[in-house]
Structure 1
Amino acid sequence: MTAVLTDSVQVEADQIVAIDNFDTMYYTINSAIHKKPKNNPALNYSNVQLGVPTAVNAFNPLKINVFYQDFNTVVILDNRFAEIFKIDFNTKQPYKNVTHVSTGYDNTIWIFNQDLQQLELYDYKADKIKATTLPVQSNVLDLKSDYNYCWMLTENYLYQYTYFGSLVSKIKNKGFKSIAVTNENLVIETETGLLYKPTNSETLITIATKGMLIKQFLLTNETLYIYDRNTLRKYQLKIK
């Protein structure tokens, strides 16, 4: 698979969070989260009490979840960056030590419960666990999701689950470091480059990324974005 460069732009950010189909960019600088629509003024959000966010997930732009691991807390933002919900897991019974968070359907988020070593689908409005997975035996490296599935990368395996918590697939981790997901297709980062995993397939296709410095990567439909600390490059993925 080839990655054909179609555009590049200078960006100063700690992390590029997401880029949607309308070229709206979500990114972080220090403790602030920024949303920059292509032709509209930027919005930003920061929480002085909680500090620098550990992870931001903008898969659902109407319910953006911001995770502050040091405080075991998630804040849900709407599309205008107004706070619509705050989840402090320190106050929940039973107590939950959360290390990873990703978007679920409706009012749910996927959380990895470190103490139980399992993935849980948590309804934050009902304060109820809707689904759980079997415990895993290794550290979690990455967590990504859409409305139907959740992908969890651990040191040993890459797991795919339904929103009922049922295991769909399990692939041995052969040097995988992180993942990006779009339309149930995955791009997987390894020590040597990027791999493409089509939906409903365990085939891993090498993406030609020779010479690319990859600090971060994102996937939106068939568009691959690669960020190298000051330049965001846009590539079109094409099967050879």
Structure 2
Amino acid sequence: MSKTAPFFLYLLFIACSFSVVFSQNQKIKAASVSHFTIDVDNFLGYDSFGYRYQINNNVFRKIRDKEIFEYKNVSLGKITRVDLQNPLKIVLFYEDFNTVVLLDNQLNKITEINFSLNNIPIVVSLTGMSTQNQLWIYNALNQQIGLFDYLKNEYKTVSTPLIETIKYYQTDFNTFYWIDKKNNWFSCDIFGKITSLGKIADFDCIEIINNHQYLYSKANLLYFKDITSTNSSAFSEIEILEKSFDKFCYKDQILSIFTDQEITNYKIVTP
């Protein structure tokens, strides 16, 4: 072997190392499209019609320009979670009273479901809108995922008992996603099929886009991750103006960053 060969191999090693570092630290540029101040306790996001949703003093609000709708229910205590997947059937979850309220697009009550009155014992700790007049339910009594038909008042269990504690969950019409305390990511479909989707990066906040992509924040930096990437450890940092933020929401390629009394909306296209 020539004397230049070891030096060439060294340079090749350095080049490959830089390539790996670059692939793990790609940047996604985000263009600011709007910015405004807001006085709320909890900013929830937007729907496809441009309405923003928020909670202030436990009053749920839907706002667009000067158009404001409100819903409050003092008797049910604090709103635990809101599901905005279907703007025509919004889900409000009141965990302390084991109750879900469904609202129409003007925030009129469609129905109120008290699971404590159900024939089959249900203690709901997680819930979200599913398909065909059903709600996703995680029943804390048996630690199983189920579906509740709110028109027929029927409940069925679809999953086996979950072993690990759920750290985060998110639902769409056909899928119940969750991340356990060990950062393992799973999905369950409406037929009860459970799929392991791999290990999630350590996060402060997270939002699942689909079964292979998610956004997450860590130490006030925001990242995009695609688990189908050829480099399984690669991620992309999203460049935003904020040095710190309380919450983020992503919908229809619009990234909303919520800081103390301010919202900035960015246009972003994930790779």
Give the structure-2-normalised TM-score. 0.78
Call closer, same or farther: CA 1:36–1:151 in 2, change over 3 Å: same
1:75 Cα offset (Å) = 0.5
Question: What secondary structure is seen at the aligned counterpart in 2 of 1:42?
Answer: strand
State the Cα deviation string for residues 112-143 of structure 1 (Å, max 9, x = none).
11222222222122222355223222222332
State the Cα deviation string for residues 168-212 of structure 1 (Å, max 9, x = none).
4432244234432456653233456333245x8375633335753
Call closer, same or farther: CA 1:146–1:94 in 2, change over 3 Å: same
Cα contact 1:181–1:219 (8 A) shared by 2: no
Question: What secondary structure is seen at the aligned counterpart in 2 of 1:49?
Answer: helix
CA separation in 1, counterparts of 2:217 and 2:154? 34
1:67 alignment counterpart: 93
Query: Does the alignment pair 1:196 with 2:224?
Result: yes
Query: Which one-letter code corresponds to 1:134 in the other structure?
Result: T
Match of 2:43 among 16, 19, 24: 16
Call closer, same or farther: CA 1:179–1:142 in 2, change over 3 Å: same
Cα contact 2:220–2:245 (8 A) shared by 1: no
CA separation in 2, counterparts of 1:120 and 1:176? 27
> What are the residue-to-residue correspondences of 1:137-176 with 2, within 5 Å?
137-156=163-182, 157-176=184-203
1:34 alignment counterpart: 61
Cα contact 1:133–1:166 (8 A) shared by 2: yes
CA separation in 2, counterparts of 1:130 and 1:95? 11
Query: Which one-letter code corresponds to 2:61 in the other structure?
Result: H
Unaligned stretches of 5+ residues in structure 2: 1-27
CA separation in 1, counterparts of 2:176 and 2:199? 17
2:235 alignment counterpart: 205
Question: What secondary structure is seen at the aligned counterpart in 2 of 1:147?
Answer: coil
1:32 Cα offset (Å) = 0.5
Deviates more, 1:130-139 or 1:154-163: 130-139
Question: What secondary structure is seen at the aligned counterpart in 1 of 2:105?
Answer: coil
Cα contact 2:128–2:135 (8 A) shared by 1: yes
Call closer, same or farther: CA 1:218–1:48 in 2, change over 3 Å: same
2:207 alignment counterpart: 180
Unaligned stretches of 5+ residues in structure 1: none
Call closer, same or farther: CA 1:132–1:222 in 2, change over 3 Å: same
1:86 alignment counterpart: 112
Which 4+ stretches in 1 moved above 6 angstroms? Answer: none
Higher share of residues assigned strand: 1
CA separation in 2, counterparts of 1:133 and 1:11? 41
Query: Which one-letter code corresponds to 2:187 in the other structure?
Result: Q
Query: Which one-letter code corresponds to 1:227 in the other structure?
Result: F
CA separation in 2, counterparts of 1:128 and 1:215? 38
Question: What secondary structure is seen at the aligned counterpart in 1 of 2:96?
Answer: helix
Call closer, same or farther: CA 1:147–1:239 in 2, change over 3 Å: closer
Question: What secondary structure is seen at the aligned counterpart in 1 of 2:142?
Answer: coil
Tell me which structure has the larger Cα radius of gyration: 2
Question: What secondary structure is seen at the aligned counterpart in 1 of 2:74?
Answer: coil
Higher share of residues assigned helix: 2
1:3 alignment counterpart: 30
Deviates more, 1:182-191 or 1:217-226: 182-191
Query: Does the alignment pair 1:217 with 2:243?
Result: no
Cα contact 1:142–1:178 (8 A) shared by 2: no
1:16 Cα offset (Å) = 1.4
What is the number of residues matched between the two proteins? 238
